[in-house]
Structure 1
Amino acid sequence: MFDAITKLFSAKKKADMPNLEPKLCVAALLVHLSAVDGESSDEEKEVIKKTLQSYYGLDPHEVKDLFKLATEQNSEAVDLYAFTSVLNQLEVEEKHAIINMMWQVVFVDQHNHELEDNMVWRVAELIGVSARERTMLRAEVRHAAKIK
């Protein structure tokens, strides 16, 4: 009986979680990050699109579609797990690139809100990027953005 109940809940959980590809997960996390401080600026949206376009080699139409889909996925998500569980399977270099992209979104407005910082910390932990690596990536992006 317990096995049947376990199978029922496991099957439902798997059916509720769509098969997400990594670039959609990254885009959804970036969309979420841009709004975590209560407002999503045009600057943040543009840096998300440019970053995705550059990293994934997308054309402007593909970026627009990805951004729209990511916005939808973000609004439907109850937590970050659906996204981070996919990203946790990636290589270390890709994980670092994701955290780097997140810091680019954070620093585009020359300000680091504590909620943004907290979200990057949480995502880094969930995908296996150490505190040291996260901090080094933060310093690199902050230096490149010429923030004191």
Structure 2
Amino acid sequence: MLKSFLSLFADTPAPALSASDAEFAIAVLLVRLARADGTYGTQEQARIDRVIAARGGLSPWEAAELRARAEEAESAAPDTVRFTRVIKDGIPYEDRIQVIEALWDVAFADHSRDAEEDALIRLTASLLGINDRDSALARQRVEAGRA
């Protein structure tokens, strides 16, 4: 699956995207965000597992396996654009807002808000075509749910 996913970015005609491609790209972005501040701990890993399990209806074991594959892909990927493109092409706007909520959820997992994470979420929202208002509302919903 990882090999086929990464082949989406080769200079060949793009194959049709599946929902699993978009979900994998989301998992990679969640890992990238969790690593953005230079620390990647068990709290963030557990939060990523919960988010991707809930999104995909996966068992905890399946979610951890998907996260492990996403960690590998994130380490090998030079940029964020390739993943946001898959998401933007694969899911509707309203669901992309939920991706921003998932990113904020992971960003708050370690109970701190870092400039690197904020910047990556702003970049991701822009690349996903999410306007500033909807992005801010997504963050506020996540913050309100954590109170």
Which TM-score band (shorter chain)? 0.7 to 0.9
Cα RMSD of the aligned pairs, angstroms, is 1.7
1:59, 1:143 → 2: CA distance?
Answer: 27
Partner of 2:5: none
Q: Which residue of 2 aligns with 1:136?
A: 137
Q: Are the counterparts in 2 of residues 53 and 59 from structure 1 also a CA contact under 8 Å?
A: yes
Please, which runs of 5 or more residues in structure 2 have no aligned partner? Answer: 1-8
Distance 1:126 1:97 in 2: 14
Alignment match, 1:76: 76
Contact 1:108 1:145 in 2 (8 A): no
CA distance in 1, matches of 2:106, 2:25: 15
Identity of aligned residues (%): 27
**Are 1:45 and 2:42 an aligned pair?**
no
Separation (CA, whole Å) in 1 of partners of 2:130 and 2:115: 19
Poorly superposed stretches of 4+, deviation over 6 Å: none
Q: Which of these two proteins has the greater Rg computed from alpha carbons?
A: 1
Per the TM alignment, residue 60 of structure 1 is displaced from its structure 2 partner at its CA by: 2.1
Distance 2:143 2:111 in 1: 9
Scaled by the length of structure 1, the TM-score of the pair is 0.84
CA–CA distance in structure 1, aligned partners of residues 44 and 60 of structure 2: 16
- How far the C-alpha of 1:13 sits from its partner, in A, is 2.6
Match of residue 5 from structure 1:
none
Counterpart for residue 67 of structure 1: 67
Q: How many residue pairs get matched?
A: 133
- Alignment CA distance shift 1:12-1:88 (3 Å): closer
Which 5+ residue runs of structure 1 have no aligned equivalent? 1-10
Instruction: Normalising by structure 2, report the TM-score.
Output: 0.85
2:105 pairs with 1:107: no
Is contact 1:110-1:145 (8 Å) kept? Answer: no
Q: Could you tell me how far apart the structure 2 residues matched to 1:128 and 1:79 are?
A: 17
